[in-house]
Amino acid sequence: MSVRGSLRRHRFIGTALSLAAAVALAATLSGCSGDDPPEKAYTVPTPLCGIPVDPALVKAALPGGGTLSTATVKPNGGTVRCNLSVDGKEALSLAQIWWSQGQTTATVSQGYANTDDGVLSEDERFVHTEKAGVGKTVSSCKVSEHPEQDLYTVVETRDTGVDDPAAIEKLLVAFTKAVEGSAACG
Report the sign of the C-alpha dihedral through residues 169, 174, 179, 180, in that order: positive
Q: 69: burial class by Cβ within 10 Å (0-12, 13-18, 19+)? A: middle
Neighbouring C-beta atoms of residue 70, cutoff 10 Å? 15
Spatial strand order in the sheet of 119-120: 68-76, 79-86, 89-100, 149-157, 132-136, 126-128, 119-120
Q: What pLDDT, in 10s, does the model give residues 147-186?
A: 999 999 999 998 778 889 999 999 999 999 999 999 999 8
Taking only the tens place, the pLDDT of each residue in 10-51 is: 454 454 444 444 434 344 444 444 566 679 999 999 999 999
Predicted TM-score of the model (pTM):
0.79
